[in-house]
Amino acid sequence: MDRSLMQRWLVTLLPKSWAESMEKESKEWKVICPCGAKDTIWDIGGIRWKARAHKKTSYVVCRTCGEGAWMIVKREFQDE
Ligand SMILES: [Zn+2]
């Protein structure tokens, strides 16, 4: 998956350790589509970093079914 423009811009701009932390954290945020597909914020071109809340809703277009919907975005740690 290509990085979005925003991701590329931030990765260029930030110190390497920050960029890595940002990518890691964005990948812990999961978006679950009503069709059952699961994606990460990072993989859909988004960034979620240093967020205090552990759950939110966001309008996302699913890469699997192509439908846009308000989906629950929640943080899941990769080691779970
Ligand atoms: Zn879907």
pLDDT digits (tens, 9 = 90+) for 31-68: 999 999 999 999 999 999 998 888 999 999 999 999 99
CA 67 to centroid of ligand 1, rounded, Å: 6
Structure confidence at residue 52 (pLDDT): 86
- Look at the block and give the residue holding tokens 């812990």: 28
Residue 79 binned pLDDT confidence (cut-offs 50, 70, 90): low
CA 14 to centroid of ligand 1, rounded, Å: 32
pLDDT over threshold 70, residue 80: no
Average pLDDT for residues 6-16, to the nearest whole number? 92
Structure confidence at residue 66 (pLDDT): 95
CA 62 to centroid of ligand 1, rounded, Å: 5
CA 15 to centroid of ligand 1, rounded, Å: 35
Instruction: Please answer whether residues 44 and 63 qualify as being in contact, where contact means their C-beta atoms are separated by less than 8 angstroms.
Output: yes
CA 54 to centroid of ligand 1, rounded, Å: 22
CA 18 to centroid of ligand 1, rounded, Å: 31
Structure confidence at residue 3 (pLDDT): 80
Positive or negative, the CA dihedral 39, 68, 53, 6 is positive
